[in-house]
Amino acid sequence: MAGLRAKDRARLAAQRLAPLYPAVSELVHRDAFQMLVATILSAQTTDRSVNAVTPALFAKYPDAAALAHADPLEVEAMIKPTGFFHVKAKTIIACSAALVERFHGEVPPRIEDLVTLPGVGRKTANVVLGVAFGIPGFAVDTHVTRLTRRLGLTKNTDPVKIEAEVTRMLPPEEWTAFSLRLILHGRRICVARAPRCPECVLNDFCPSSTVRAKSRRRRLTATPAGVRLPHGRGTAARRPPAPRH
């Protein structure tokens, strides 16, 4: 698929990933407040680590008013497995206090308001908007940064610039889903050190792919097939090995 523009690659990637991954966050939450706190805790750790501590945390501090008045030492002890627990405890308590003081304890559904909260940048704000409120947002984390660069959608490393470039390539209703699916694909297939290109459904047009299927081209729309991917999220077409010369 030589000659594809970056915009074409973005749209094709969105099509191909849609049947494979749900457009959901793996952070367990019940409402916007829990999603906000869980996303802050997810920095520099895994969603699994966060999900292991948040049930007890939210049982004791179910809303912003409760967490705003929490004992920092108790919060630190509860979130310790997520790492950087001193800073994270201070941040989620301060964030909760700001919600109480300025937004009546409710998470505001506007990025302009969210980014004024302690510990909340555009990435966290976009996650909360997209997942908790269904408002289009393109969250750029390390996985999204890596995949958008590998796919040739951007040359930037600045998350704000990546967000601006990619969101110009897709309609707003696809921003949240594409970001969430890139994250999942980055965790399972397009990993940082050794990307599993032979298993990737994007390998026939990804500029960074280490393999090429010259004998057969995929259709421009994603179609299900019977080969189960190792991550268990869907299926991908099996292509014959490249001929040896």
| Sign, CA torsion 39/33/148/26 | positive
214 catalytic per annotation: no
- Please pick, among 47, 71, 90, 123, the residue that the annotation labels catalytic: 123
141 catalytic per annotation: yes
Q: For residues 170 and 177, give the distance between their C-alpha atoms in angstroms, rounded to a whole number.
A: 11
Closest by alpha carbon to 163, among 180, 179, 182, 177? 179
Closest by alpha carbon to 107, among 64, 59, 169, 166? 64
- Please pick, among 63, 80, 141, 155, the residue that the annotation labels catalytic: 141
Residues annotated as part of the active site: 123, 141
